[in-house]
Amino acid sequence: MHETAQSAADEPNALAPAARIASPPRVIAIANQKGGVGKTTTAINLGTALAAVGEQVLILDLDPQGNASTGLGIDRRMRRYSTYDVLMGQATLHDAVTPTAVPRLFIAPSTLDLSGFELEMSQARDRALLLRRGLAPLRAATSHYDFSYVLIDCPPSLNLLTVNALTAADAVLVPLQCEFFALEGLTQLLSTVGSVKSALNPALVVHGIVLTMHDARNNLSNQVVDDVRANSKEKVYATVIPRNVRVSEAPSYGKPVLVYDLKCVSSEAYLRLATEIIQREKELTGSASQAADAAAHQEQQHAAMMMKPP
């Protein structure tokens, strides 16, 4: 685990000194095959907002461009181990996890090596399972990790990296930009999610859709919000992220917008989104555990009937 000069020494560490029983984190893939829709911005700022309300968060940068890593101020020279090394089994997740300047927010950075991943692995039988395998230590019953959320920043493509993310995730979060062709491509994305769910990861769900770069003064932007809400069967978050120049300035300072300008409308929106995500998580995990309870109850009744003397 790497140290950044400012932060690591006095901040709570996600790695406890000894193995302990921890509940596994929720792994959320942030995916949309379109570029420039706000995936990386959402990974950085939702991650920061979740950390701000007390969650332990790991961002996994799965885009060869490494914008999430750069946007969080992780210099290329500091990326000794990357998500590529974790995928290839050349390093453990522990090696790649790097603290950021934000308390409770960590990142596994990416490097350009990732751009060769698809070609290098095209013949490997288990090529879709590599990230899931790399993240297995997070889900071990006794884990050194204490993350409550892992956010995967996916590349702008439905390629093998995105399939690895969907295979390793519990849920998918889809950012949609408030523009004319917002819904274009959503069907294809959801169909990829469906294929991964049926072939590789039955537990995968769509967490929800977040509308980004909304401009309240623009009629088209408002129309897109209405259309997406009316036409999408998936949950659309009540929080809409406004377009704001502070958001696009922040990455050049290596800072999340919540750190760069906490009071701007977009920072406030990302904080509201974090609250919605946590609420939605409660519903999802609550209904999952209710389903498990119901199944267990049914099994007990069945067992009791089998035990009954005729």
Partner touching 79 among Mg ion, ligand ADP, none, CB below 5 to 8 Å by kind: none
How many amino acids of this chain bind ligand ADP (CB under 6 A)? 18
79 part of the interface to ligand ADP, by CB under 6 A: no
How do strand 57-61 and strand 105-108 relate by DSSP bridges? parallel
96/213 with CB nearer ligand ADP? 213
Residue 83 binds to Mg ion (criterion: CB under 5 A): no
Position among 33, 111, 232, 266 found at the interface with ligand ADP (CB under 6 A) = 266
Q: Is 39 in the site for Mg ion (CB under 5 A)?
A: yes
**32 vs 167 by CB, closer to ligand ADP:** 32
**R_g of the chain computed on alpha carbons:** 20
CA–CA dist 169, 131 (Å, integer): 9
Q: Which of 16, 35, 75, 283 binds ligand ADP (CB under 6 A)?
A: 35
**Per rule CB under 6 A, is residue 70 in the interface with ligand ADP?**
no
Q: How many CB atoms lie within 10 A of CB 181?
A: 10
Question: Which of 249, 240, 218, 222 shows the shortest CA–CA distance to 71?
Answer: 249
Q: Would you count residue 255 as binding ligand ADP (CB under 6 A)?
A: no
Find the shortest distance in angstroms from Cβ 277 to ligand ADP.
17
Nearer to Mg ion, 26 or 39 (CB): 39
CB of 207 to Mg ion, least distance (A): 18
Q: Which of 57, 166, 241, 259 binds ligand ADP (CB under 6 A)?
A: 241
Nearest Cα neighbor of 214 from 8, 38, 51, 57 is 38
Type of residue numbered 51: A
Closest to 207 (Cα-Cα) out of 269, 278, 292, 270: 278
Q: Using CB atoms within 10 Å of the CB of residue 254, give its burial: 0 to 12 exposed, 13 to 18 middle, 19+ buried.
A: middle
For ligand ADP, which stretch binds (CB under 6 A), given 34-42, 100-108, 188-196, 285-293? 34-42
Q: Judged by CB under 6 A, does residue 164 bind ligand ADP? A: no
Closest alpha carbon to 276 in 58, 42, 67, 33: 42
Q: How far apart are the two ends of the chain, measured CA to CA in Å?
A: 62
- What string marks each residue from 46 to 75 as x (binds Mg ion by CB under 5 A) or -? ---------------------x--------
Please pick, from the candidates 25, 31, 34, 40, the single residue that binds Mg ion as defined by CB under 5 A: 40
E-assigned strand segments in 8-81:
15-21, 26-30, 57-61
Helical pair 265-307 and 39-52, crossing angle rounded to 10 deg: 80
Q: Where do contacts with ligand ADP occur on this chain (CB under 6 A)?
A: 35-41, 67, 156, 212-213, 241, 243-244, 247-248, 251, 266
